[in-house]
Amino acid sequence: MHHTPLTYYKDLSKISLSSKDFTKGLILPRYLSENLAYVCGTLAGDGNIHIRKKKHDYTLKCVGNPNDEIPFYQTLLIPLFQKVFNFKPRVGYKDKGTTFGFVI
Tens digit of each residue's pLDDT (9 = 90 or more) over 35-88? 999 999 999 999 999 998 888 788 999 999 999 999 999 999 999 999 999 999
Helix (H, G, I), strand (E, B) or coil at 17: coil
Helix axes 34-46, 78-85, angle to 10 degrees: 120
Strands 57-64 and 99-103: antiparallel
The residue type found at 97 is: G
Taking the whole predicted model, whether its pTM rises above 0.85 is answered as: no
